[in-house]
């Protein structure tokens, strides 16, 4: 079965930046699952996977325009250090999670004082060219419920 809209794809991936430094990888853990054609993943990766099948290896380099976009100025905010989640001590450049009205957001720590920190709400991968090495593990038809929700249920997907 080939990857097409409304199909569930399980894959392993390794993500590297322009310098070849590994940013993240699913290898060694469970594969990631996503629902194709529903913008669950960045556009450049979704386009590259269209039509591929289980067992295929795909290497793709995604420019920022097809990834997380370019960083926008003016998205730095001062927040209490105690609101930063993910580590005990913070240094500039680290990525923290902050709860917002729209849910949890990844932010990059710009400056950190004793009580307050300046954080950048741009996506930490905004402006970056990203290289993916992908191995497709499985492809299946989505359940009607998954299509209605716009995401995968069960292994590697939403548990609800």
Minimum distance between the CB of residue 159 and Zn ion, rounded to whole angstroms?
Answer: 9
Minimum distance between the CB of residue 149 and Zn ion, rounded to whole angstroms?
Answer: 3
Minimum distance between the CB of residue 147 and Zn ion, rounded to whole angstroms?
Answer: 10
Which residues are near Zn ion by CB under 5 A? 149, 158
Indicate the residue among 44 and 157 with the shorter CB distance to Zn ion.
Answer: 157
Query: Which has the closest alpha carbon to 10: 47, 22, 125, 41?
Result: 41
Indicate the residue among 97 and 147 with the shorter CB distance to Zn ion.
Answer: 147
Indicate the residue among 101 and 148 with the shorter CB distance to Zn ion.
Answer: 148
Minimum distance between the CB of residue 113 and Zn ion, rounded to whole angstroms?
Answer: 40
Closest-approach residue to Zn ion (CB): 149
What is the secondary structure of the chain as a DSSP string?
-B--TTEEEEEEEEEE-TTS-EEEE-TTSPPEEEETTTTSS-HHHHHHHTT-BTT-EEEEEE-GGGTT-PPPTT-EEEEEGGG-BS-SS--TT-EEEEEETTEEEEEEEEEE-SSEEEEE-S-TTTT--EEEEEEEEEEEEPPHHHHHHTS-BSTTSB--
Indicate the residue among 5 and 158 with the shorter CB distance to Zn ion.
Answer: 158
């Amino acid at each position: 079965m080939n990857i097409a809209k409304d199909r569930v794809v399980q894959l392993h991936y390794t993500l590297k930046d322009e310098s070849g430094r590994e940013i993240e990888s699913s290898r060694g853990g469970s594969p990631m699952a996503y629902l194709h054609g529903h913008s669950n993943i960045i556009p450049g990766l979704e386009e590259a996977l269209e039509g591929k099948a289980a067992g295929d290896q795909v290497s793709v380099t995604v420019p920022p325009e097809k990834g997380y976009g370019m960083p926008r100025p003016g998205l730095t905010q001062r927040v209490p250090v105690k609101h930063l989640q993910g580590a005990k001590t913070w240094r500039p450049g680290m990525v923290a999670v902050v709860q917002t009205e729209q849910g949890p957001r990844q932010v990059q720590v710009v400056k950190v004082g004793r009580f307050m920190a300046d954080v950048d709400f741009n996506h930490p991968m905004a402006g970056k060219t990203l290289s993916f090495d992908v191995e497709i593990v499985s492809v299946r038809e989505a359940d009607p419920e998954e299509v209605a929700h716009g995401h995968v249920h069960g292994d590697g997907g939403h548990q609800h």
